[in-house]
Amino acid sequence: MIMIRVGLTAALCRLCISDVQSSNTSTRLISTGISPLFFKASTCLYAEPLKKKKRIDPAILKQREERKKKRLEKQIRRLERNAKQLKPIDELEVPLELVDGKKERMREAAVITPAVEEERALLTKDWTRYKRKQHLKDMQMIDRLMFAQQKALDELRQESEELYQAAIQINPTLLPFTVRGPVKTPPIKGYDSPDGEYTDVSKKW
Amino acid sequence: MNLAQRSIRLCLYSTSAQVSRTKWDLMSAVCLERKPVLSGELNEIERKFSRMLADIELENSHKSDHEVRYETETLQAELLKSKSLDLDIEQTLQQTAQDFEDAAVDEYNKFVFESRITEADKANDLQNLERKLDRHLLLLVQQKQWDQKIWALPQGLQKDGETMLQTAERVLREKCGDDLTVQFYGNAPCGVYKYKYPKMFVSREEEGPVGAKVFFFKAQYIAGYVDHNKLKLQEFKWLGREELMSSLSQEYYRNISQFLIDEE
């Protein structure tokens, strides 16, 4: 018992302030609140003690800021890209300026006399008749063209099967074929365009 | 509809190849057309109808930004005259809607469009392609047939190993030179003209050709000019549809008009 006690106090002598080894200790002392032992426990800290703020390298700080900037810019670019793509027609809405200004943009209801109405109705009927005749003429022309071609192919076949087979081959080099359509007035020779020439720089894949 | 049914039947039933007993010369001809550069004028009913449609559209429309601006400015001007409102200097310095409209109309009136009727029309120059810009022009070439010279589409005999289309391309290059750029419409001919050689010009052999079959190939003029070294000025001409009848023989014209596109 004595030996253990002395051992304990010797081991724990660094914990207390007073000089334990020199003082004559009584071996009958049990309590911990007196001189040789002097355990002092701090108050119960339920929370963790505050960590020390370390000094961060300024280079690393800059890196972090740059990364944040880059992320924002990337998002801006993505939004812009979406804005350039055209919306599908189903998603389009009437612009708000027109919806708000509907009153001032409405015209007064035009007075259409019965005479004008009748004239319009008769003109529409004339137009349908005219267009129908045009359509029939076009159909007859197409039939005539097809008949002439078929006759030519038959005559060719009578002459030589080989030439006929060559004639009915599909020519893949024909398409794509582009032609610019008719205009209202012919182009002015040597015209210097005030807006400049238009050069197409779009990428072709 | 009758023609269509007949042609469909021909397609279905002509499956077997029957080599004819009589021998025919095979020729390819080129139907080269300069398509209209200008759109045609509207005729009376088209003009009336387009005007009616424009009126209806105006009645059903809403006012544009320019119109709204114009109206507000006229109202302001009237108010300024009747009651003395504070003149906003900034507003008066800006261009009003009326000013803008006047400036635009002035610019339009000053601009000189090229005339639809060109000098070639006035001079009636048959070799010039600038003639009759709103109609089709067909190339006719003077060709020697037996003892006379006739006007016809450029044609030539087929050589061995050539398809009919290659013959047509070769004929055009030989007659008009390399400068002329054309687009042929495909491998198949669009029409055929069969004629027998008159007996006095044909040799008496049994094996010789009885006549010729001319297969026409349609082509569209794209760019370039006829080479004057190969064809002198009197030997070719570009004709509109109305002028064809006078230059060609009746039978030939009837045959050709079958595969030419109509014009009003």
Residue A129 tokens read as 């008749």
Q: Please provide residue B162's backbone torsions phi and psi, each rounded to the nearest 5 degrees.
A: -105, 145
Question: Is residue B201 pLDDT above 80, yes or no?
Answer: no
Nearest C-alpha of chain A: how many angstroms from B240? Answer: 17
Considering only the beta carbons, identify the residue of A127, A143, A152 that sits closest to B49.
A127
Per DSSP, the three-state class of A79 is: helix
Residue B245 tokens read as 């009848």
Distance in angstroms (rounded) separating the CA atoms of residues A197 and B227: 32
Q: Chain B partners of A156 at a C-beta cutoff of 8 Å?
A: 164, 189, 192, 213, 215
Question: Is residue A27 pLDDT above 70, yes or no?
Answer: no
Domain ranges in chain B?
Answer: 23-39+125-259, 44-110
- Residue pLDDT, tens place only, B130-166: 999 999 999 999 988 878 889 999 999 999 888 999 9
List the single range of A9-18, A174-183, B48-57, B239-248 with lowest mean pLDDT: A9-18
Q: Please give the torsion angle defined by the CA atoms of residues A162, B188, B129 and B158, in that order, rounded to the nearest 10 degrees.
A: 20
Which chain A residue has its CA at the smallest distance from B40's CA?
Answer: A184
Q: Chain A partners of B35 at a C-beta cutoff of 8 Å?
A: 179, 182
Whose tokens are 């002097």? That residue is A38
Contact state of A150 with B220 under an 8 Å Cβ cutoff: no
Nearest C-alpha of chain A: how many angstroms from B58? Answer: 9
pLDDT category of residue A3 using cuts at 50, 70 and 90:
very low
Name the pairing type of β-strands B181-184 and B191-196.
Answer: unpaired
Q: Are A23 and A49 in contact (CB under 8 A)?
A: no
Name B194's bridge partners: B213
pLDDT category of residue A1 using cuts at 50, 70 and 90:
very low
Considering only the beta carbons, identify the residue of B4, B164, B261 that sits closest to A167.
B164
Q: Which amino acid appears at position B254 of this protein?
A: R
Question: ipTM greater than 0.85, yes or no?
Answer: no
Which chain B residue has its CA at the smallest distance from A160's CA?
Answer: B19
Considering only the beta carbons, identify the residue of B20, B38, B191 that sits closest to A148.
B191
The CATH architecture that domain B23-39+125-259 belongs to is: Alpha-Beta Complex (3.90)
Q: Chain B partners of A126 at a C-beta cutoff of 8 Å?
A: 45
Question: Is residue A6 pLDDT above 60, yes or no?
Answer: no
Query: How many Å is the Cα radius of gyration of chain B?
Result: 30
Average pLDDT over every residue of A6-30: 56
Name the pairing type of β-strands B236-239 and B181-184.
Answer: unpaired
Question: Is residue B88 pLDDT above 80, yes or no?
Answer: no
Among B69, B163, B193, the residue to mutate for chain A (most A Cβ within 10 A) = B163
Among A94, A139, A155, the residue to mutate for chain B (most B Cβ within 10 A) = A155
Question: Is residue A30 pLDDT above 60, yes or no?
Answer: no
Q: Are B171 and B162 in contact (CB under 8 A)?
A: no
Which chain A residue has its CA at the smallest distance from B60's CA?
Answer: A107
Which chain B residue has its CA at the smallest distance from A181's CA?
Answer: B37
Among A156, A162, A177, the residue to mutate for chain B (most B Cβ within 10 A) = A156
Question: Is residue A2 pLDDT above 50, yes or no?
Answer: no
Contact state of B45 with A110 under an 8 Å Cβ cutoff: no
Distance in angstroms (rounded) separating the CA atoms of residues A192 and A184: 19
Is-above-0.80 flag for pTM? no
Residue B165 tokens read as 């289309």
- Residue pLDDT, tens place only, A121-153: 999 999 999 999 999 999 999 999 999 999 999
Instruction: Specify the pLDDT at position B45.
Output: 96
Q: What is the enclosing helix (H) or strand (E) of B216?
A: strand B211-223
Per-residue DSSP letters for A7-27?
HHHHHTGGGSSS-TTTS---T
**Which residue pairs, CB below 8 angstroms and at least 24 apart, start in B175-178?**
B175/B141, B175/B230, B175/B231, B176/B139, B176/B226, B176/B227, B176/B230, B176/B231, B176/B236, B177/B226, B177/B227, B177/B229, B177/B230, B177/B231, B178/B227
CB pairs under 8 A between A and B: 153
Average pLDDT, chain B: 86
- Residue pLDDT, tens place only, B120-132: 888 888 988 999 9
Whose tokens are 């003395």? That residue is B84
